Amino acid sequence: MRYLPLSDADRGEMLARIGVDNIDALFADVPKDKLLTKPLDLPRHKSELEVERHLGRLAARNVPASSVPFFVGAGAYKHHVPASVDHLIQRSEFLTSYTPYQPEIAQGTLQYLFEFQTQVARLTGMDVANASMYDGSTGTGEAVLMAHRVTKRRKAVLSGGLHPHYADVVRTLSRMANDEVVSLAPDVRAKEDIFAAIDDATSCVVVQSPDVFGNLRDLRPIAEKAHAHGALLIAVFTEVMSLGLVTPPGEMGADIVVGEGQSIGNGLNFGGPYVGLFATRQQFVRQMPGRLCGETVDAEGRRGFVLTLSTREQHIRRDKATSNICTNSGLCCLAFTIHMTLLGEAGLTRLARVNHANAVKLADALDALPGVSVQTAGFFNEFTVKLPKAAAGVVEALAAKGVLAGVPVSRLLPGAGLDDLLLVASTEVNTDEDRAALVAGLKEML
């Protein structure tokens, strides 16, 4: 077996040194009748070539985003990731290191985490950011719990524009923790009256922008109303690239900003691993979940970095911890940081403009189709269109023709009476030909 260096001779010598006759003597504490006596019903080991063949066959049964005109979004976005990003994150010293518990030999990880935290804080317009959550959805769940700790209240108000998976994560967690959740109905035009749902028992208001339908939301009046009632505003995003072009939540009064960072540096990966971004105001730092990297000096006075404020965390505080998170999204943070470094402000804002321009172009082309109407007035790179028939069937039929058209709202909200709505995203990867293929395909279908 190519991964196991011990030879049988080694094993014999080592057993002798330990002073036992056979390996099962070391498993003596396993109840006799529970020690497996026959092999598991699993295939025998395979060569590298055989594994490649086997997995290659499975991979070939999927349609990769890059191979077709591709407009699927709703919380995960197809962007171009520079080759250098994927090369750098595979450096052994990054890939095969652990959480930086021994800072003297983990300055590489710690410094990029410090850079990551700074990039995230600046992008979101907040004071501080942590070293990541699992993804945007679990980060949103954690943000609600944090708001409960800060306000000592236990009721969250969820906008109907919050990604339905994110809302489900919050509702599941809240139900289990016996906390109250008020969920507004999904509203494709973002006309919900969220103000009416906020009262003096409200701990936090959770609003996504761009929301799941693509609407860019002005958070200022919501922040004002929330603050007037002593509640926090949690601003959520699922498309981090939007922050290159859109007013950051920190400038609109958000108290916690949380979202999905996949779009920068990370591939689609069928939904994971991704990277949850989490930022807040300085005054709430000690209520934050997750790891934080901070600056300090070493015994010779040289600048260095360490994990800090860990008295919030499970390994110290146990059942009183702010969160149970331990392993987070380390390497995905690195991918984010490298891609963000390559972009810089100049590249990010331009890339964001290209995304927006592509989406505007596509929206106009689709809106011109008879029977199709764009529902979203202000958006970034994703919007909702209304079709004259159920979107799911249309998407399926277009997939058969080699166009991945978007996400039918019914996939996210079955039974909500929104079956004729289709979410369409267009990023920098789409060409004019891609858009033409979608328009032509739809036209034929309707």
Partner 1 sequence: MLNRSGQIAGRSDDATSAGGGAHPTFTGNRALQQEEALLFEIGRRETTGIDIAEPEAFKPRLNGLERKGGVDIPGLSEPETMRHFVKLSQKNYGIDTGLFPLGSCTMKHNPRLNEKMARLPGFGDIHPLQPLSTVQGALALMEELSRWLLETTGMKAVALSPKAGAHGELAGMMAIKAAIDAKGEGATRRVVLVPDSAHGTNPATAALIGFQVKPVPARDDGWVHVEDVKALLGPDIAGIMLTNPNTCGLFEPQIVEIAAAIHEAGGYFYCDGANFNAIVGKARPGDLGVDAMHINLHKTFSTPHGGGGPGSGPVVLSGRLAAFAPVPYLKAEGEGLTLVEHDAAAAEGEAPFGRITAFHGQMGMYVRALSYMLSHGGDGIKQASEDAVLNANYVRACLSDLMSLPFGDKPCMHEALFDDAWLKGTGVTTLDFAKAMIDEGYHPMTVYFPLVVHGAMLVEPTESESKASLDLFIAALRDLAMAAKDGDATRFTGAPYHAPRRRLDETRAARSPVLTYRTPEPVREAAE
Give the binding site for ligand PLP (CB under 6 A): 326-327
- Binders of partner 1 among 288-307, rule CB under 8 A? 291-306
Q: 61 in helix, strand or coil? A: coil
Q: In sequence order, which residues have a C-beta less than 8 Å from that of residue 232 and are 6 or more positions away?
A: 147, 150, 151, 203, 204, 205, 226, 255, 256
CB of 92 to partner 1, least distance (A): 4
For residue 326, the one-letter residue type is C
Among 181, 198, 231, 351, binds partner 1 (CB under 8 A): 351
128: β partners: 280
Sign for the pseudo-dihedral over CA of 109, 115, 120, 125 = positive
Using CB under 8 A as the binding rule, whether residue 94 contacts partner 1 is answered as yes
Q: Quick one: 20 or 326, whose CB is closer to ligand PLP? A: 326
CB of 263 to ligand PLP, least distance (A): 25
Residue linked to tokens 């689709």:
366
Stretch that binds partner 1, among 191-199, 200-208, 222-230, 408-416 (CB under 8 A): 408-416
Among 69, 79, 88, 277, binds partner 1 (CB under 8 A): 88
Distance CA 259, CA 232 (A): 16
Q: Quick one: 316 or 326, whose CB is closer to ligand PLP? A: 326
CB of 31 to partner 1, least distance (A): 6
Provide the token pair at 40: 């598991």
Provide the token pair at 160: 């109907």
- Binders of partner 1 among 120-179, rule CB under 8 A? 121-123, 127-129, 131-132, 134-138, 145, 163, 165-166, 168-169, 171-173, 175-178
- Binders of partner 1 among 229-258, rule CB under 8 A? 243-248
Number of residues that bind partner 1 (CB under 8 A): 213
Distance CA 155, CA 177 (A): 11
393 binds, among partner 1, ligand PLP, none (CB under 5 to 8 A by kind): none
In order of 5, 43, 64, 148, 380, the CA distances from 39 in angstroms are 22, 10, 37, 50, 55
Using CB under 8 A as the binding rule, whether residue 263 contacts partner 1 is answered as no
Using CB under 8 A as the binding rule, whether residue 319 contacts partner 1 is answered as yes
Using CB under 8 A as the binding rule, whether residue 189 contacts partner 1 is answered as no
230 binds, among partner 1, ligand PLP, none (CB under 5 to 8 A by kind): none
Among 196, 200, 224, 311, binds partner 1 (CB under 8 A): 311
Binding mask 28-67 for partner 1 (x = CB under 8 A): xxxx--xxx--xxxxxxxx-x-xxx-xxxxxxxxxxxxxx
Residue 317 CB neighbours (<10 A): 13
Residue whose C-alpha is closest to residue 136's, from 258, 37, 301: 258
Q: Quick one: 68 or 372, whose CB is closer to partner 1? A: 68
Q: Quick one: 314 or 341, whose CB is closer to ligand PLP? A: 314
Among 69, 79, 115, 437, binds partner 1 (CB under 8 A): 115
Q: In sequence order, which residues have a C-beta less than 8 Å from that of residue 392 and are 6 or more positions away?
A: 408, 410, 411, 419
Among 199, 200, 218, 224, binds partner 1 (CB under 8 A): 218
Among 157, 158, 327, 443, binds partner 1 (CB under 8 A): 327
Longest distance between any two alpha carbons in the chain, whole Å: 83
Q: In sequence order, which residues have a C-beta less than 8 Å from that of residue 134 and are 6 or more positions away?
A: 272, 273, 274, 276, 325, 328, 329
First to last CA, the chain: 57
Provide the token pair at 57: 């066959």
CB of 392 to partner 1, least distance (A): 9
CB of 41 to ligand PLP, least distance (A): 28
Using CB under 8 A as the binding rule, whether residue 430 contacts partner 1 is answered as no
Q: Is 442 left (phi over 0), alpha (psi -120 to 50) or beta?
A: alpha
Residue whose C-alpha is closest to residue 138's, from 7, 36, 4, 289: 289
Stretch that binds partner 1, among 181-189, 222-230, 405-413, 433-441 (CB under 8 A): 405-413
Provide the token pair at 404: 């991945």
Among 151, 159, 263, 358, binds partner 1 (CB under 8 A): 358
Distance CA 408, CA 395 (A): 7
Using CB under 8 A as the binding rule, whether residue 419 contacts partner 1 is answered as no
Q: Is 258 left (phi over 0), alpha (psi -120 to 50) or beta?
A: beta
Using CB under 8 A as the binding rule, whether residue 27 contacts partner 1 is answered as yes
